[in-house]
Homo-oligomer: A and B are copies of this chain.
């Protein structure tokens, strides 16, 4: 019996647990007819979006699959193993399908759990929290379950980590589109609903008169649930694959699979034990659950290491990754928390207007990148040297060292089941709050959903920090995997910063995340402009809507439609641009240029991801702080200024920022997949 069999077993266990939770949620009551009706609109809108998105993506996936079948791992006309091309192509489709499926399932359960959470809030915080969190857990456990099962199947059948790379590419490519499309959708709706509703007409958030309100709720599901799940799944898979490739030369392919399996066990235990006592604090419960999962994971991997006789330095690298993840999460929390100085100062400057609110929030966002980046740097340095020492005497110092960096990335990501669960909890309770307000539930019930929602925001800051930190280490591992693959192809290059070809690559690379982020944000801007006009039109033209006359309803479906069409139109160019630019740099400048390009995009990608996520979160909470009564409270001039900051932060934190992780993962995977081909055929080598 091989040890890696732990992976598929725990994966299947994870899927079973998530199925059990799914049934539990389905059994709950959906409340009044009005509530069910609203929930149905949200569900319908979400499904419609995903259907249309997947239809477009299917064309893309099939096209790429055909290209893979022809060109990868090596062009079919010169390959000595043409069957590998077919396998790679199938693995790719498999990866894309699994990623799509995980996104769909998560969204499906989220759009069921939202209304049930709202209804359970009538019975108190405890029950409602439990349903909301279990909804998130279905997403979390199915994401890791399907991901690890997929990897196990591809690896079990082919025993070839390079083909697992194809699986990973499929998952990541889909994640990139899902994240970008969902991110544009959600912020289009959010900004439009806020600008016309809150700012112009001064009606509350989630007011049923607002034509954009359903689209806004749909956005939470397609952006935050389906998108975020796909994003973390893609980092998770990529980190495992990177370590498998790095471990290949050391005969360590199976260690990452074993450790991933243990991560699932830790996540299941974490999910099972989480609860909020009477009068408990749900935010604290979520964070405690995350910490508990980390501790369980550390213990399990230690025991496994002794049992299987793995060198404890490898375990040390995992631990370093885990600790770094927690530290980065705490940093993000500091810079975005409603109780801390940065948010409060930013709220205070709102008294002098929107411009100073934005300057201040942006500045704290700039500060916030420092500890996280240094943390990632130190984690990679420590894990490198820990494992470097294993290799001394075997002449394999570098190989072990890079493997160590990969294991640190895995360490961060191994608890991803729990992370996704906490994360998906956010949009579910956000939706629950919306449904409670729109269906006119009592004040106390709405208050409970409000409390649940606030906890979601706290948890989100930490999980986002985790996600970005993990992506950072993962792409470093992928960079190393890219280097290893290039070496195997006979190109033994050093990425020397003083080499002008590497430098040119870096200069192009650092500009890519900027351009990508800009494309997505302009997409949001364009779309929001269209939708704002529509919302204004409805308020102007539908008699009685503004005053909320009985029986008058806005045309929700039109807003859902505008957001859907717009998001689908804007999602392709940015994502295709990133992939094409990567290939162009490779085939023109060769491996060295591509190495520089990847590094540059990683550096600036991480920087912007942190900057945008943190400043966005900070602006959001600065507004909430004012709404809680500070500096004049709701409706004051300071509040108006803070709303502008929050709106600027929306595409920062929910569209561009989190997409950048996925972007750099996809770019790294594309590079690694094409490394052999690029090494052979590139313009610069022909000159």
Contacts of A506 in B (CB 8 A): 377, 599, 603
DSSP majority for the A interface?
Answer: helix
Mark each residue of chain A from 502 to 523: 1 if its CB lies under 8 Å from any CB of chain B, else 0: 1111111011001101110110
**Nearest opposing residue in chain B for A187, CB measure:** B359
The yes or no answer to A250 lying at the interface (CB within 8 A) is no
Contacts of A514 in B (CB 8 A): 366-367, 369-370, 607, 611
Question: Are A374 and B511 also in contact (CB < 8 A) when A381-B500, A525-B349 are?
Answer: yes
Task: Decide if B359 touches A521 in the complex (CB within 8 Å).
Answer: yes
A355, B510: Cα distance in complex, Å: 26
The yes or no answer to A362 lying at the interface (CB within 8 A) is yes
Contacts of A529 in B (CB 8 A): 349, 352, 356
Q: Which A484-506 residues have a C-beta within 8 angstroms of B?
A: 494-498, 500-506
Contacts of A525 in B (CB 8 A): 349, 356, 359-360, 363
A495, B599: Cα distance in complex, Å: 13
Contacts of A366 in B (CB 8 A): 514-515, 517-518, 521
Choose from B355, B480, B511, B528 the contact partner of A369 (Cβ within 8 Å). B511
A385, B510: Cα distance in complex, Å: 23
The yes or no answer to A554 lying at the interface (CB within 8 A) is no
The yes or no answer to A114 lying at the interface (CB within 8 A) is no
Task: Decide if A504 touches B360 in the complex (CB within 8 Å).
Answer: no
Choose from B349, B353, B599 the contact partner of A199 (Cβ within 8 Å). B353
The yes or no answer to A378 lying at the interface (CB within 8 A) is yes
The yes or no answer to A604 lying at the interface (CB within 8 A) is yes
Question: Assembly of this chain: how many copies?
Answer: 2
A374, B593: Cα distance in complex, Å: 13
The yes or no answer to A41 lying at the interface (CB within 8 A) is no
A134, B315: Cα distance in complex, Å: 69
Q: Which A439-477 residues have a C-beta within 8 angstroms of B?
A: 476
Contacts of A596 in B (CB 8 A): 497
Task: Decide if B500 touches A380 in the complex (CB within 8 Å).
Answer: yes
A396 CB → nearest B CB, Å? 15
A525 CB → nearest B CB, Å? 5
Choose from B356, B377, B503, B517 the contact partner of A503 (Cβ within 8 Å). B377
Contacts of A377 in B (CB 8 A): 503-508
The yes or no answer to A600 lying at the interface (CB within 8 A) is yes
Contacts of A494 in B (CB 8 A): 494, 496, 498
Contacts of A70 in B (CB 8 A): none
Contacts of A500 in B (CB 8 A): 380-381, 384-385, 401, 405
Contacts of A508 in B (CB 8 A): 373-374, 377
Task: Decide if B358 touches A528 in the complex (CB within 8 Å).
Answer: no
Segment touching B, from A91-99, A173-181, A644-652, A671-679: A644-652
Question: Are A367 and B515 also in contact (CB < 8 A) when A510-B604, A644-B354 are?
Answer: yes
Task: Decide if A483 touches B507 in the complex (CB within 8 Å).
Answer: no
The yes or no answer to A138 lying at the interface (CB within 8 A) is no
Task: Decide if B521 touches A498 in the complex (CB within 8 Å).
Answer: no
Choose from B191, B385, B607 the contact partner of A355 (Cβ within 8 Å). B191
Question: Are A521 and B362 also in contact (CB < 8 A) when A377-B508, A405-B500, A498-B483 are?
Answer: yes
The yes or no answer to A479 lying at the interface (CB within 8 A) is yes
Task: Decide if B504 touches A497 in the complex (CB within 8 Å).
Answer: no
Task: Decide if B496 touches A476 in the complex (CB within 8 Å).
Answer: no
Contacts of A517 in B (CB 8 A): 363, 366
Task: Decide if B355 touches A644 in the complex (CB within 8 Å).
Answer: yes
Task: Decide if A363 touches B521 in the complex (CB within 8 Å).
Answer: yes
Residue among A195, A370, A476, A511 with the highest chain B CB neighbour number at 10 A: A511
A552, B596: Cα distance in complex, Å: 63
**Nearest opposing residue in chain B for A607, CB measure:** B510
Task: Decide if A363 touches B604 in the complex (CB within 8 Å).
Answer: no
A355, B529: Cα distance in complex, Å: 12
The yes or no answer to A657 lying at the interface (CB within 8 A) is no
A180 CB → nearest B CB, Å? 14
Mark each residue of chain A from 600 to 628: 1 if its CB lies under 8 Å from any CB of chain B, else 0: 10011001000100000000000000000
A355, B187: Cα distance in complex, Å: 13
Task: Decide if A355 touches B498 in the complex (CB within 8 Å).
Answer: no
Task: Decide if A599 touches B497 in the complex (CB within 8 Å).
Answer: yes
Task: Decide if A353 touches B496 in the complex (CB within 8 Å).
Answer: no
The yes or no answer to A667 lying at the interface (CB within 8 A) is no
Contacts of A647 in B (CB 8 A): 353, 355-356, 359
The yes or no answer to A376 lying at the interface (CB within 8 A) is yes
Task: Decide if A376 touches B507 in the complex (CB within 8 Å).
Answer: yes
Contacts of A402 in B (CB 8 A): 498
Residue among A364, A381, A384, A521 with the highest chain B CB neighbour number at 10 A: A381
A217 CB → nearest B CB, Å? 21
The yes or no answer to A294 lying at the interface (CB within 8 A) is no
A151, B353: Cα distance in complex, Å: 48
**Nearest opposing residue in chain B for A354, CB measure:** B644
The yes or no answer to A113 lying at the interface (CB within 8 A) is no
Contacts of A401 in B (CB 8 A): 500
A595, B359: Cα distance in complex, Å: 32
The yes or no answer to A88 lying at the interface (CB within 8 A) is no
A511 CB → nearest B CB, Å? 4
Q: Which A397-414 residues have a C-beta within 8 angstroms of B?
A: 401-402, 405
- What are 23 A-B pairs with beta-carbon distances under 8 A? A354-B644, A355-B648, A356-B647, A359-B524, A360-B521, A360-B522, A364-B522, A366-B514, A366-B515, A374-B507, A374-B508, A376-B507, A377-B504, A377-B506, A377-B507, A377-B508, A384-B500, A402-B498, A405-B500, A479-B498, A480-B498, A496-B496, A511-B607
Beyond A195-B355, A370-B515, A380-B500, 7 additional contacts (C-beta under 8 Å) are A195-B353, A359-B525, A363-B521, A367-B515, A367-B518, A480-B498, A506-B603
Q: What are the 5 tightest A-B residue pairs by CB atom distance, in nearest-first order? A: A377-B507, A355-B647, A366-B518, A495-B497, A377-B504
